[in-house]
A and B are shown apart, each in its own frame.
Chain A
Amino acid sequence: MSQLLTPAVLVGIAASGIRLATPYLYATIGETFGQLSGVLNLGVEGIMLMGAYAAFYVALTSGSLWLGLLAAIIVGGLMGLAMAFISVTLKAEQGISGIGVYLFGLGMSDLLFQKTMGSVETVNGFPALSIPILVNIPFVGPLLFKHNLLVYFAYLLIPVAWFVIHKTTWGLKIKAVGQNPAAADALGVNVNMVRYASVTFGGVMSGIAGASLSVAILNVFQQNLTSGMGFIAVALVYFGGWSPWGVLGGSLLFSTINALQNWAQIANLPIPPSFAVMMPYVLTILALVFAVRRVNQPAALTKTYERGES
């Protein structure tokens, strides 16, 4: 086993972990904004599937990856808007309506896939882009500076999201609406508008998360491509304590376990793969139990707001 873990293998696993974190990063950052504003969008998985399909199909037929990405953004935004309408305007129970959005996305993406493609095809996804000079640094270079554009964007998003949440008026409004909507309302913040914007943004990000799978990482689309990643992303937002750096840590942890497990299977290690796949779920439950940062939880998360109610 010690011979197997050569530096080259380690770099390979780490690089693959960094790459596989991409969909989690987009989805968790989007979901962080939604949850900070007080809306739990459990439909991320369904939106990711629709985004993945839209990006793949448009890229396949138009030949343009950017058009595919745009399609995923539009589809994700529309589904996010729908989720906002259901949970903000119609004040529906968020845990359940999210399952509805999930089932819709699961069925719809499969239906469209079977009707428009029928069989699994592949596209040439976003190519790996080596950053000159930096890529030549031993170990670190190939690890960090030899990825495709969507991977770089995902990591750039973390500090940007942190800045928006903590250093801008918008971030302040989002947090105020999620902590105490009545007080925010009294101060003239449009509670519904902020929630609509946050949840729609979350939908856009989930769409991109799906696209990152189908046109940048796996470069295929098939039924249930995301296989639960969207649900894990929702849990990762709790795991990361509603902070961009926290969800970065959580996403990397999960993706690295995925990468390790892929490697363990290839290297034929005597660990049943089921247990490796099980670990992230167990870890998430433990993290949810022991997350000390649960104090950060937005006080009005999943609570609808109506003027005149306490």
Chain B
Amino acid sequence: MKLIGQVREWFLTQYWLRSLVPFLAAAAAFVIGAIMLVVLGANPLEAYAALIQGAFGSLNSFADTIVKATPLLFVGTGICIAFRGGMINIGGEGQMVVGALAGTIAALSLPTWPGWALIPLCLMAGFLAGALWGTIPGILKAYLNVNEILTTIMMNGIAVQLMNFLLSGPIMDPVQVQQRSFIPQTAQLPAASFLPRLAPTRMNLGVGLAVVVAILAWVLLWRTTWGYRIRAVGLNRQASRRAGIHVERYAALAMILAGALAGLAGVTQVIGVNHRLFTDGSATGFTGGAGFNGIVAALFGQLHPLGSIPASVLFGALIVGANKMQRVVQVPTALITALNGLVVVFVVGSEIWRRRIAAREELAHTPMESLAATGGEAAEP
């Protein structure tokens, strides 16, 4: 027991470890992943090598990784804003879906518009639809204290059914109706609405837009009064209120922005990648789970919009590489979903260590006189 205490003591005084804790947590998840691979009868080195090869091995695979990272970055950036404002947004899936629906309807109803007008309009439509989907839980939480975790999850269900209804009726592909095959999908969008691509890959302008949005989000949060207020509200509602901040307004704003960015994730997926909207009846059929995985990316990026950029590429790579891994070592891609879950659990679970190391560092840097005044206590941040 004494040894454990010493190890713990050593660990807590390694201040440089503080920012590495999330990486250690993720590494732990991949070690468990390796053990699972062994149990499944696969060589973990071979499996992970195939995964990296599949994600970065060729220009096309790298482009696919970037394509998969794009919605993660949009959603993840939104999650950063929401969490900084004290809002937990589990509604990325639904917000993506309504964003995609709005962008699709805009593109389909204005087939003659030129690209320079149609693309911004589609993006705006997606942005606003996502914002609307964030507004409902945001306002309910901020003004009526209705649990936003539950309302965002319910809004996901509503969005999916709205999509299923629209795609199997009002905006169903007329060809599907003519041929009486009734596959729930829209017609292909007018070519003017397509985001420019880096031929021959599927990489498109969406990723550039996502990076710009992430940088703007960083500027918003750390360089503007609005951002300062959002963060203040997230840190301490009472203190913010006493400081004269309209707490409800900024809390709601954080969720609305998160929804809007997820809406952009949805619309760029349609006009950048699929060029039509289709449904298999579930949200993940369209989003690929990006609404949830965006949370993973944001957490891994330490809830910082700029940190979310490399984090999104990492988790995009996992999704793309998993297909190659499945072919090479016959382990289903579902392993990656399970690993993402472990990463979330480990990263949020290790937060306590990050806080403790930070507290110890502060203690070490506090002059003795002030310690004597507080009875030797250093506040945990």
CB of A106 closer than 8 Å to a CB of B:
yes
B336 partner residues in chain A, CB cutoff 8 A = 107
What are the interface flags for A76-97 relative to B under an 8 Å C-beta threshold, 1 for contact and 0 otherwise? 0000001000100011110111
Also in contact, A95 and B149, with CB within 8 A (given A100-B348, A104-B345) = yes
Instruction: Check A103 against B340 for contact (C-beta < 8 Å).
Output: yes
CB of A278 closer than 8 Å to a CB of B:
yes
What are the interface flags for B157-178 relative to A under an 8 Å C-beta threshold, 1 for contact and 0 otherwise? 1100110110011000000000
Least CB distance, A97 to chain B, in whole angstroms: 5
Nearest CB to that of B332 among chain A residues? A114
Instruction: Check A284 against B335 for contact (C-beta < 8 Å).
Output: no
Instruction: Check A102 against B341 for contact (C-beta < 8 Å).
Output: yes
B349 partner residues in chain A, CB cutoff 8 A = 86, 90, 92, 97
Least CB distance, B131 to chain A, in whole angstroms: 18
Also in contact, A96 and B332, with CB within 8 A (given A102-B341, A228-B157) = no
CB of B201 closer than 8 Å to a CB of A:
no
CB of B59 closer than 8 Å to a CB of A:
no
Q: How far is the CA of A224 from the CA of B337 in the complex (A)?
A: 12
Also in contact, A95 and B88, with CB within 8 A (given A107-B337, A277-B161) = yes
Instruction: Check B150 against A234 for contact (C-beta < 8 Å).
Output: yes
CB of B211 closer than 8 Å to a CB of A:
no
CB of A149 closer than 8 Å to a CB of B:
no
Also in contact, A107 and B339, with CB within 8 A (given A92-B348, A97-B349, A272-B169) = yes
Also in contact, A90 and B352, with CB within 8 A (given A100-B344, A103-B341, A107-B340) = yes
Instruction: Check A231 against B334 for contact (C-beta < 8 Å).
Output: no
B140 partner residues in chain A, CB cutoff 8 A = 285, 288-289
Report the tally of A-B residue pairs with Cβ distances under 8 A: 144
Least CB distance, A116 to chain B, in whole angstroms: 10
CB of B338 closer than 8 Å to a CB of A:
yes
Instruction: Check B345 against A235 for contact (C-beta < 8 Å).
Output: no
Least CB distance, A114 to chain B, in whole angstroms: 4
A91 partner residues in chain B, CB cutoff 8 A = 352
- Taking CB atoms and an 8 Å cut-off, the chain B residues in 129-164 that contact chain A are 136, 140, 144, 146-147, 149-151, 153-155, 157-158, 161-162, 164
B48 partner residues in chain A, CB cutoff 8 A = none
Instruction: Check A114 against B150 for contact (C-beta < 8 Å).
Output: no
Also in contact, A275 and B341, with CB within 8 A (given A110-B334, A285-B154) = no
The tally of residues in B whose CB lies under 8 Å from a CB in A reads 46
**Which of B158, B299, B334 contacts A107, CB < 8 Å?**
B334
Instruction: Check B40 against A99 for contact (C-beta < 8 Å).
Output: no
CB of B292 closer than 8 Å to a CB of A:
yes
What are the interface flags for A189-218 relative to B under an 8 Å C-beta threshold, 1 for contact and 0 otherwise? 000000000000000000000000000000
**Which of B40, B155, B165, B342 contacts A100, CB < 8 Å?**
B342
Instruction: Check B144 against A100 for contact (C-beta < 8 Å).
Output: no
B348 partner residues in chain A, CB cutoff 8 A = 86, 90, 92-93, 96-97, 100
CB of B46 closer than 8 Å to a CB of A:
no
Instruction: Check A97 against B161 for contact (C-beta < 8 Å).
Output: no
A95 partner residues in chain B, CB cutoff 8 A = 88, 90, 149
Also in contact, A106 and B337, with CB within 8 A (given A92-B352, A227-B282, A282-B158) = yes
Instruction: Check A288 against B150 for contact (C-beta < 8 Å).
Output: yes
Also in contact, A289 and B146, with CB within 8 A (given A97-B344, A106-B341, A281-B154) = yes
B136 partner residues in chain A, CB cutoff 8 A = 285
B339 partner residues in chain A, CB cutoff 8 A = 107
The tally of residues in A whose CB lies under 8 Å from a CB in B reads 46
B168 partner residues in chain A, CB cutoff 8 A = 272, 274
Least CB distance, A186 to chain B, in whole angstroms: 20
CB of B343 closer than 8 Å to a CB of A:
yes
- Taking CB atoms and an 8 Å cut-off, the chain B residues in 65-116 that contact chain A are 88, 90
Also in contact, A115 and B40, with CB within 8 A (given A86-B348, A97-B348) = yes
B162 partner residues in chain A, CB cutoff 8 A = 274, 278
Instruction: Check B158 against A92 for contact (C-beta < 8 Å).
Output: no
Nearest CB to that of B335 among chain A residues? A111
Also in contact, A104 and B334, with CB within 8 A (given A272-B165, A288-B147) = no
Instruction: Check A238 against B165 for contact (C-beta < 8 Å).
Output: no
**Which of B147, B299, B331, B342 contacts A238, CB < 8 Å?**
B147
B344 partner residues in chain A, CB cutoff 8 A = 96-97, 99-100, 103
Instruction: Check B161 against A238 for contact (C-beta < 8 Å).
Output: no
What are the interface flags for B318-359 relative to A under an 8 Å C-beta threshold, 1 for contact and 0 otherwise? 000000000000011011111111111100111110000000
A108 partner residues in chain B, CB cutoff 8 A = 334, 338, 341
CB of B295 closer than 8 Å to a CB of A:
yes
Q: How far is the CA of A135 from the CA of B351 in the complex (A)?
A: 56
Also in contact, A42 and B332, with CB within 8 A (given A100-B348, A111-B338, A275-B165) = no
Least CB distance, B335 to chain A, in whole angstroms: 5
A100 partner residues in chain B, CB cutoff 8 A = 341-345, 348
What are the interface flags for B259-288 relative to A under an 8 Å C-beta threshold, 1 for contact and 0 otherwise? 000000000000000000000001000000
CB of A101 closer than 8 Å to a CB of B:
yes
**Which of B90, B150, B341, B343 contacts A284, CB < 8 Å?**
B150
Instruction: Check B88 against A281 for contact (C-beta < 8 Å).
Output: no
**Which of B151, B292, B338, B340 contacts A285, CB < 8 Å?**
B151
Least CB distance, A309 to chain B, in whole angstroms: 9
**Chain B residues within CB distance 8 Å of chain A:** 40, 88, 90, 136, 140, 144, 146-147, 149-151, 153-155, 157-158, 161-162, 164-165, 168-169, 282, 292, 295-296, 299, 331-332, 334-345, 348-352
A-B contact pairs, 20 of them (CB 8 A): A92-B345, A97-B348, A99-B90, A100-B342, A101-B345, A102-B292, A102-B341, A103-B337, A103-B341, A103-B344, A104-B341, A106-B337, A223-B334, A227-B282, A272-B169, A274-B161, A274-B165, A275-B165, A280-B157, A285-B154
